[in-house]
Amino acid sequence: MTQEEVFKNLTAHCKEYGFVFQSSEIYDGLSAVYDYGQNGVELKNNIKRYWWEAMTRLHENIVGIDSAIFMHPRIWEASGHVAAFNDPLIDNRDSKKRYRADVLIEEYLAKLEDKIKKEVEKGRKKFGDSFDEAQFLATNPNVLRTQAKWDEVHNRMVKALNDNDLNEMRQIIIDSDIVCPISGTKNWTEVRKFNLMFSTQLGNISGEDGTIYLRPETAQGIFVNYLNVQKTGRMKIPFGIAQIGKAFRNEIVARQFIFRMREFEQMEMQFFIQPGTELDWFAKWKETRLKWHKAMGLGDEKYRFHDHDKLAHYANAATDIEFEFPFGFKELEGIHSRTDFDLGNHQKYSGRKIQYFDPERNENYTPYVIETSIGLDRCFLAVLSSSYHEEKLENGEERVVLSIPAALAPVKAAILPLVKKDGLPEKAREIMDILKFDFNCQYDEKDSIGKRYRRQDAIGTPFCITIDHDTLNDNCVTIRERDSMKQDRIAIDRLHEILQSQTSMTSLLVKN
Ligand code: ATP
């Protein structure tokens, strides 16, 4: 099965099992907006908790806040979003479809990379054991030609983005013979800028004066509360402020399910530091955040850093943590060294002094900032896409299993009486009553035990606990582990301890 087919099946699975629904579905949906269902919300809440506790509990110098979505409109002028939060867009006149010009070029570059990979595979097959990849890459004429093309297009794109040269962006698309994936033609319009912020009106104030924005990032809510938190929390630099919340962007190219949404959730942390120390802290946060991701056990090889060619207007160093989604390596989290751009500008625009008095150095300064910014929905997709497996079992049956890290799984244990009679449901309810205060458990007595196992596999429940006739005499149950399908007979007294050690958030946090 191709990755594309797997992704299609995963999307369908998300709907069938109550993880993600299209927003406003009975009205034919609202594009790039999604709702989380009964299992999705549990998984999402668990990811949030993992991030929150890793950030705030494991770092004594990081505290959290929850700021409002609506903020004073001047904030978005100070942050640069009114002037510069733009995407370069291009339309194909035949298909009438709109694309981000930079994304079209990046996809073309990815195709060239694939071409090189295919040449390497061909070479490997041809030369067998004597194949030397480095030498092949340095000498094969096809590879060299493709690599030269890649270098040229890449360099031109970086320069055009940095110079904000929209004509050059279009020219690169024309020169590279990039066609519209729908119409197949090169009938392109000019490249134009489009601001991504949603705006609305405040109360009864009409016109521009009443225009306010739905925040396009949660970070600014942290910056404008810097003084409040620093003073009331008596925070000493270095310290951080963390926040989880909704952000809104009027994305034009909204594709790939919950990867790019118009309403999404971010988990951001701004770390305030002494100027001059930013590159050390940048390196440290890169390492810390990668460790957080890897602790989930989705596969170390699925992550890579991608340092930015074009730095945002506020940054002096930036990297993405990319994840291998079914549609390739894509940004999951951004780590940015934002200098004193934001605090400095808020100082200018608000007229308030936003500084830190450093008692050790006996001086005032505007702190520098390292930001870590991860999309919750993208993290959700990373967990689900790497956990989704279609398996053929030894007995010829098939199952779909979500091997979600147990600490993040929506339901930790299913409590299953073998039959609906003979006192088994009552016994099962007793077990439910022992476990339900600490673990999200699901009681299920409908259908055969095999069918019930499959239903739990499909939502990623790590343990199924079956109560049978022997249970009434020996107070033991059968516990079945999701991934191995191994079954053990254990005493009811041990259930709590097993679930605690296997499914608690601590099991992830200790790996950070
Ligand atoms: P992209 O290049 O993919 O548009 P970005 O560089 O604009 O992303 P940031 O502004 O750095 O993203 O936002 C931080 C994080 O927020 C991203 O790493 C991503 O996980 C998440 N994010 C950004 N835009 C979206 C979106 N439209 N839908 C879902 N998550 C998003």
Domain ranges of the chain: 1-71+199-392, 86-195, 395-509
Q: Determine phi and psi for 353, rounding to 5 degrees.
A: -80, 115
- Please state, as a whole number, how many other Cβ atoms lie within 10 Å of the Cβ of residue 145: 11
| 127 CA → ligand 1 middle, Å | 43
Assess contact for 460 and 404: CB atoms under 8 A.
yes
Centroid of ligand 1 to alpha carbon of 181 (angstroms): 23
CATH number 3.40.50.800 is the correct assignment for the domain at 395-509: yes
Q: Which of 214, 246, 257, 266 to mutate to test the pocket of ligand 1 (most atoms within 8 A of CB)?
A: 266
Q: 120-134: buried (b, 16+ CB within 10 Å) or exposed (e) per residue?
A: beebeeeeeeeeeee
> Which of 47, 243, 286, 373 maximizes ligand 1 atoms within 8 Å of its Cβ, making it the mutation to test the pocket?
373
Which residue's CA is the nearest one to ligand 1's atom 9?
334
CB 331 near ligand 1, within 6 Å:
yes
Domain 86-195 has CATH 3.30.40.230: yes
CA dihedral 81, 153, 325, 261 (to 10 degrees): 30
DSSP assigned state of 25: G
> Is the CB of residue 334 below 6 angstroms from any atom belonging to ligand 1?
yes
The tens-digit pLDDT sequence of the chain (512 residues) is 788 888 999 999 999 999 999 999 999 999 999 999 999 999 999 999 999 999 999 999 999 999 999 999 999 999 989 887 778 899 999 998 889 899 999 999 999 999 999 999 999 999 998 999 999 999 999 999 999 999 999 999 989 988 889 999 999 999 999 999 999 999 999 999 888 899 998 876 666 677 899 999 999 999 999 999 999 999 999 999 999 999 999 987 777 899 999 999 999 999 999 999 999 999 999 999 999 999 999 999 999 999 987 777 678 899 999 999 999 999 999 999 999 999 999 999 999 999 999 998 999 999 999 999 999 999 999 999 999 999 998 888 899 999 999 999 999 999 999 999 999 999 999 999 999 999 999 999 999 999 999 999 999 999 999 999 999 999 999 999 999 999 999 999 999 999 999 999 999 999 99
411 lines ligand 1 (CB under 6 A): no
What separation in Å is there between the alpha carbon of 475 and the centre of ligand 1?
A: 51
Ligand 1 centroid–CA 315 distance in Å is 16
Does the CB atom of residue 268 touch ligand 1 within 6 A?
no
Atom of ligand 1 nearest to the CA of 373: 14
Ligand 1 center–CA 375 separation, angstroms: 6
Q: Which two tokens stand for residue 331?
A: 């940004």
Q: Which of 269, 288, 377, 292 lies closest to 330 in space, CA to CA? A: 377
Distance CA 211, CA 233 (A): 33
List 103's β-bridge partners, or say none.
Answer: none
pTM of the model: 0.85
Please name the residue whose Cα sits nearest to atom 23 of ligand 1: 375
Which residue lies with its CA nearest to atom 29 of ligand 1?
260
| Residues in a beta bridge with 199 | 213
Does ligand 1 come within 6 angstroms of the Cβ of 377?
Answer: yes
Please give the span between the terminal C-alpha atoms of the chain, in angstroms, as a whole number: 35
φ, ψ dihedrals at 321, nearest 5°: -90, 115
Which amino acid, 10?
L
Preceding omega of 238 cis (within 30 degrees of 0): yes
Q: How far apart are CA 449 and CA 455, in angstroms?
A: 10
Q: Is the CB of 371 under 6 A from ligand 1?
A: no
Closest residue by CA, ligand 1 atom 6: 334
- Nearest residue (by CA) to ligand 1, atom 30, is 375
State the closest ligand 1 atom to the C-alpha of 336, by its place in the atom list counted from 1.
11
Note whether 86-195 and 395-509 share their fold. no
Question: Which CATH superfamily, name and number, covers 1-71+199-392?
Answer: Bira Bifunctional Protein; Domain 2 (3.30.930.10)
How many residues does the structure list for the chain?
A: 512
Q: Is 468 in the pocket of ligand 1 (CB under 6 A)?
A: no
The CA distance from 168 to 171, in Å, is 5
